[in-house]
Structure 1
Amino acid sequence: MNDTNESWRKLLTSRTLKSNLISISLFLTAFEMFKERVVGLPKTFFMDINKSDEYAINEQYKKDVLSKNNSRVYASLLWLKELGAMDQADIKNFDEIRKHRNELAHNPLSFIADAGKNIDFNKFFCLTNLLCKIEKWWLVHCECLPDMYSHDAEINPDDIVTPSQWTLKLLFDMALENEPKENFYHDGFFNDIQRS
């Protein structure tokens, strides 16, 4: 079968179309979550609370973070790299992920209807792994209170489930219909509310 016929088959097979639309949506959602979290970590780290209990970005944030790059995302990534949360290979991977995200966002129809264009799930998993790596590093090095672990126990990052991990799992399970049972999250949430 030629490429044209395969492209039509890809577009007109409802299960494939649905899967591609959901996958594109999940990739774009995960990417935006990544950007929001990466920019938010240093931004909140450098925030001051003024007398009226409003948050204000201090000059140190501009000096230590924003001065590194014109893009808030890349400036934040460079700051996190400087702290040891990630390395240059991670930034290079993010560059490739961002390029693929731009293709998905600006030309989604080609991934839906062209037999030769497919979503790169390796980039998707690389993105979610990088987000978890950064969040786990942050939780261990910046958010843990010293007295929480005064018994000298080592914190194993593999034992940490980050907010983004939980959110992405919930989205993936529900969007891809992988819940342990139908309405698993819905029923669990509302059953907990009724008990409290």
Structure 2
Amino acid sequence: MSTYEERWERFLDPEVVRPSLFMATMFITTFEILKNSIIDRIRDFYSIGWSEGETTVSPEYRTKVLSRDKSPVYASLKWLHEHQVINDDDLQSFEQLKSTRNLVAHQLFDIVTGQAESNHTEQFQVLVELLRKIEVWWVINVELATDPNYADTEVHEEGIVPGAILSLQMLLEVAGGNTELLKAWRSQRAQ
């Protein structure tokens, strides 16, 4: 079979296209969750209230975070790096993940149909691990550290499942066809 025929074979086979499209969209979605976590967690940390349905941040947010870079993502990454939430390897990983995200987003059709190569499937776990690392740091160093109920409690990092990771796991299950969560939700509503 020629390359041309192989491409058509791949393009017309739902058993090939469906999982390829699923992983591509999950990579893009998870990368956006990571970006939101990077920015929103810090902005929320500097939050001082609500005004007209939006979070009001202290002037310190501009001077201590946003002043680091014109991009809120990179300014926040620098803040996270300075506070030892992430390291140099994590910054490199972010750049690789961002490049992959851009490739997948801009060449989605070609990647899903096998006309362009991408390693987003292999990088997906790296993406989830970086998201988890940042989220767990916030849980341990801010949420639990400021909660008097956990003052003298030993917390094991590996047992923490941050909300963003739990939501991602649920999304993967539901998008993968699992209906158990829906059944459980409906059962709870009926009570």
- Say whether the fold is shared (TM-score over 0.5): yes
Query: 2:143 corresponds to which residue?
Result: 143
| RMSD after superposition | 2.0
Unaligned 5+ segments in structure 2 are: none
* Counterpart Cα distance in 1 of 2:25 and 2:159: 29
Give the C-alpha shift of residue 193 in structure 1: 2.1
Q: Which runs of 5 or more structure 1 residues have no equivalent in the other structure?
A: none
Deviation of residue 147 (structure 1)? 2.3
Q: Kindly state the Cα deviation for residue 185 of structure 1 after the two structures are TM-superposed.
A: 0.4
Kindly tell me: are residues 162 and 13 of structure 1, through their superposed partners in 2, closer, same or farther at Cα, counting changes over 3 Å?
A: same
Alpha-carbon distance in structure 2 between the residues aligned to 1:51 and 1:186: 35
Call closer, same or farther: CA 1:149–1:117 in 2, change over 3 Å. same
Q: 1:108 and 1:54, CA in 2 relative to 1: closer, same or farther beyond 3 A?
A: closer
Deviations 1:152-196 (A, max 9, x none): x3211101111111111111112123x3xxx2000111212222x
Map 1:77-92; keep pairs closer than 5 Å: 77-92=77-92
The residue matched to 1:56 in structure 2 has which SS? strand
**TM-score normalised to structure 2 length:** 0.91
- For residues 7-61 of structure 1, the C-alpha deviation after alignment (integer angstroms, 9 at most, x for no partner) is 2222111111111111111111111111111100110111112799963222111
Match of 2:149, as an amino acid?
M
Mapping 1:2-21, distance limit 5 Å? 2-21=2-21
- Please show how residues 107-122 of structure 1 align to structure 2 within 5 Å: 107-114=107-114, 117-122=117-122
Query: Do the aligned partners of residues 52 and 75 (structure 1) sit closer, same or farther apart at CA in structure 2, a change above 3 Å counting?
Result: closer
Contact 1:48 1:55 survives alignment (8 Å): yes
Percent of aligned positions with the same letter in both sequences?
Answer: 25
Alpha-carbon contact 2:24-2:120 (below 8 Å) kept: no
**Cα deviation, residue 119, structure 1:** 4.4
The answer to which of 31-40 and 118-127 deviates more is 118-127
Q: 1:88 to 1:187 in 2, by over 3 A?
A: same
Q: 1:194: which partner in 2? A: 190
- Note closer, same or farther for the CA distance 1:58–1:147 as it changes in structure 2 (3 Å cut): closer
Q: Which amino acid aligns with 2:84?
A: G
Asked whether the 8 Å contact 1:10–1:112 carries over to 2, the reply is: no
Which residue identity does 2:181 align to in structure 1? Y
Query: Shift in Å at residue 116 of structure 1?
Result: 5.3
Instruction: Identify which range, 113-122 or 38-47, moves more after superposition.
Output: 113-122
Query: For 2:89 and 2:181, how far apart are their aligned partners in 1?
Result: 36
Equivalence map 1:39-118=2 (5 Å): 39-49=39-49, 55-114=55-114, 117-118=117-118
Structure 1 stretches (4+) deviating beyond 4 angstroms? 50-54
Normalized against structure 1, the TM-score is what?
0.88
Structure 1 residues 56-87: Cα deviation after superposition (integer angstroms, max 9, x where no partner): 22211111111111111111111111111111
The 3-state SS of whatever aligns with 2:155 is coil
Q: Distance in 1 between matches of 2:164 and 2:51?
A: 32
* One-letter identity of the residue aligned with 2:165: Q
- Between the aligned partners of 1:167 and 1:61, the Cα distance in structure 2 is 27
CA shift for structure 1 position 150: 3.1
